[in-house]
Structure 1
Amino acid sequence: MTQVLPVLTGLDTTGDRMGLMPTSDPTIARVDLVDLPTRYPRTVGRNARLSSHGSGGTSRVAILRTDTARTGWGLVEQAPAGDWDGLVVGRAVSELIDPESGIREDALGFLDVPLHDLLGQVLDQPVHAVLGSRGETTVEVYDGAIYFDDLDPDDDPRGGAVLLDQCRADAALGYRAFKLKIGRGHRWLDRAAGDRRDIEITRAVRDAFPTAKILVDANDGYDLDGIRRYLEAVADVGLYWVEEPFTDDADDLAELRAQLDAISPATLIAEGETDPDVASLLPIAGRGHLDVLLMDVMSFGLSPWRRILPTLVQLGVSASPHAWGRPLKTIYAAHLAAGLGNVAIVEGVPGVTDGVDTSAHVFADGRMTLSERPGFGLPVPRT
């Protein structure tokens, strides 16, 4: 049975801030969990801390079906096993998600993305409109897939030329900005040799792509003195940002910001991907020693991002939700950017998810233009 519940839309007979007419409040009738193969265009190698990242793996999605034939779906993490009755099945959409703030219960965090997609379907609005349309619907995207493939295979390393080939291949896919992994001396090479290789690769990519934005990500693979030496050596490269240079430390981040202000003032410091302690990062950002926060679009979640973005705006700090691992995450991050604003660039994951048609979103010349279709603009996957 379908009810009309104003709590879902926050509407009266004159409509609301999105200009929507009152709508029904369907009930979740069924939940399906499906694993979809994900394929990168190549095997992705090591970073400063982890070994090979493989060729894509699988992406688990939840498909939420309602009693009114509305369907929402999306990636999930740590979905519970067992009976979904009571938790989701049999409950009205308005009980589960609030258009103004997101999921209503922490226990539903694993369904943050599917519920936002379903909400968009019910309201007949793209997610970026549900979130407020504060940003542009054409979003800059960087290539996040340039790892330590120069070190592979162990018995005959390919060297730095392979990374230039990969940048060229990804440029052919449409990317115009590249994030380079650095920190080879943390685990894989002698410290001095690894640091030299980081510098050589950074400079080689700049030489090959003189107009590209270059970002670097150390995955906490340096200490303060080491990253300062690296930055001195590449100061003329004009890095867009340096990400997670070392384990979070307020004093070290203050010193790093002071150094960058002196040698490369436009270079940003980005933090918050790995086990983020957001409460401790906010004061550092508020003092001007962090420029971008990176919490993952999935493990942190869309709803927490909705809650924290106004604080970041007040602090003058940008957002760029981490999206590495699965190509669908880039689309979610782009909707968040277009909906909430205050996001200059998002992480791209070259690759495809089998059974998913992403063609409504147009990616060209380093930018993704989002669809105006309801939800995330992605038809229910073929399984």
Structure 2
Amino acid sequence: MPDTQSSLKIVSVEGFATSFPVRQGVTLGIGRAVKRDALIVKVITEGGLVGWGESHHGRCPGAIAQLINTTLRQLVTGMEAHDVVGVWARIYARQLASHGMGTACALAMSGIDQALWDIRGKAVGWPLYKLLGGSRRPVPAYAGGISLGFQPPAALVDEVAALRAQGYRAVKLRFGDSVARDVERLEAIRRAFGAELKIMVDANTGYRLDDVRRVMPALVAMDVAWLEEPFPPQDYRDYRHAAALGGVPLAAGENHYTRFEFNRLIREESVQVLQPDLSKTGGITEGLRIAAMASGEKLAIHPHTSASGLNMAASIHLLSAIENPGYFEADVARENLFRDQLTTRPDRLDADGNVMPGEAPGLGIEVDEDFLRAHPVIEGPAYV
């Protein structure tokens, strides 16, 4: 048994890139899914405590794992696991701020940061939400993840019906096909389930400004909660013009990294729904900073979900601790071995469509290391 009172000095950092092929790939605005990737991070302390985290793969899991297993490992080994601010600052100064790999570094350091928070919770015997100053409270969930793609309307209605039967009271539909087909699917879902179902839509950066101009009246008429990522994250001008069209709030953030990019996103006031991913934006430490910035403008945080139970648990714990929580994005993909086999699941839904943070120390998630060995990374694009 590890001695939780012994040194929390970091002695090992390792990133594991893993993949599995998808048999029935969902088609989204970014293409048809042919595989799923994940990147799991393991940190061990001198006292024997083990922390787990998840870095987003950035569609290049081997490269992100290599960054963790070389440069970042050398930077943080020997530091104290409790010093999440110090570890973050060291990686920022030595790698992210200048002459580094930019976004790739933000992805890589996110998993390390999660693992350190997992260790902190295990060291004191507290679940993460309690360590963050929160309480065990219900968190509303919507059905998202890699699901609800470009099916014919009737098939999409059947899929949403199954999700409603599970208890979901909100769903996210995929846009970015064509405006006409996107609206056809949206109208079919609204007709089938009425006003009680909350609907969000996500264009996966597949729209142009004219598409938003054309689709906005239908979004208003169908009472859509938000239009997510109509454009790539760097297209600030298009976001500004699209926001001026009014009617439905714009959502973004899963492809914005660190508080510095969110500072601009908040300041420009084009995006009203903020969606940092704790496996992308710099981890839990940076997620707390972003949430605090957003609370100053009365903006809620709706985290984007990555692949495994580690990211999901981190998001649920964060939402249970901040004062401006939004929705938890549940991954309802038909095929997700990272959710169903690699890790235990933290996202069990109650009868009211909510999830709850776990009570086990840290993130409270177990990882099957045999799965990692049995599912090595598959090189190549995840979408075609």
Taking structure 1 as the reference length, what is the TM-score of the superposition? 0.75
Deviates more, 1:57-66 or 1:337-346: 57-66
CA offset at residue 125 of structure 1?
A: 1.4
Equivalent residues of 1:286, 1:315 under 8 A apart? no
Equivalent residues of 1:37, 1:354 under 8 A apart? no
* 2:320 corresponds to: 338
* 1:121 corresponds to: 122
Secondary structure, counterpart of 2:304 in structure 1: coil
How far apart are the structure 1 equivalents of 2:273 and 2:3? 43
CA offset at residue 216 of structure 1?
A: 0.5
CA offset at residue 33 of structure 1?
A: 4.5
Aligned residues: 334
Map residues 201-220 of structure 1 onto 2, 5 A cutoff: 201-210=185-194, 211-220=196-205
Map residues 68-79 of structure 1 onto 2, 5 A cutoff: 68-77=47-56, 78-79=64-65
Taking structure 2 as the reference length, what is the TM-score of the superposition? 0.74
Map residues 1-383 of structure 1 onto 2, 5 A cutoff: 25-31=7-13, 33-34=15-16, 43-48=24-29, 50-54=30-34, 57-77=36-56, 78-79=64-65, 80-82=68-70, 87-94=75-82, 96-98=83-85, 103-106=88-91, 109=109, 110-133=111-134, 137-144=137-144, 145-150=146-151, 159-184=152-177, 194-210=178-194, 211-247=196-232, 252-260=238-246, 264=247, 267-275=248-256, 279=260, 282=263, 285-286=266-267, 288-301=269-282, 302-350=284-332, 351=336, 352-358=339-345, 362-365=348-351, 366-381=353-368, 383=370
Secondary structure, counterpart of 1:105 in structure 2: helix
Check 1:201–1:116 CA distance in 2 against 1; reply closer, same or farther (3 A cut).
Answer: same
AA at the equivalent of 1:81:
N
* 2:377 corresponds to: none
Equivalent residues of 2:10, 2:76 under 8 A apart? yes
Check 1:92–1:286 CA distance in 2 against 1; reply closer, same or farther (3 A cut).
Answer: closer
* 1:154 corresponds to: none
Larger Rg: 1
Equivalent residues of 1:222, 1:246 under 8 A apart? yes
AA at the equivalent of 1:371:
G
Equivalent residues of 1:28, 1:91 under 8 A apart? yes
Check 1:165–1:97 CA distance in 2 against 1; reply closer, same or farther (3 A cut).
Answer: same
CA offset at residue 37 of structure 1?
A: 6.2
Equivalent residues of 2:313, 2:363 under 8 A apart? yes
How far apart are the structure 1 equivalents of 2:306 and 2:71? 31
Secondary structure, counterpart of 1:26 in structure 2: coil
Check 1:249–1:59 CA distance in 2 against 1; reply closer, same or farther (3 A cut).
Answer: closer
How far apart are the structure 1 equivalents of 2:140 and 2:206? 27
How far apart are the structure 2 equivalents of 1:380 and 1:233? 44
Secondary structure, counterpart of 2:69 in structure 1: coil
Equivalent residues of 2:250, 2:271 under 8 A apart? yes
CA offset at residue 221 of structure 1?
A: 2.1
Check 1:82–1:277 CA distance in 2 against 1; reply closer, same or farther (3 A cut).
Answer: closer
| Partner deviation per Cα, 1:54-73 (whole Å, 9 max, x = no partner) | 46x34332233334332221
CA offset at residue 143 of structure 1?
A: 1.4
AA at the equivalent of 1:347:
E
Unaligned runs of 5+ in 2: 57-63, 96-107, 371-384
Point out the structure with the larger helix share: 2
Unaligned runs of 5+ in 1: 5-22, 151-158, 185-193
Alignment identity in percent? 25
How far apart are the structure 1 equivalents of 2:344 and 2:256? 32
What's the Cα RMSD here? 3.3
Deviates more, 1:336-345 or 1:321-330: 321-330
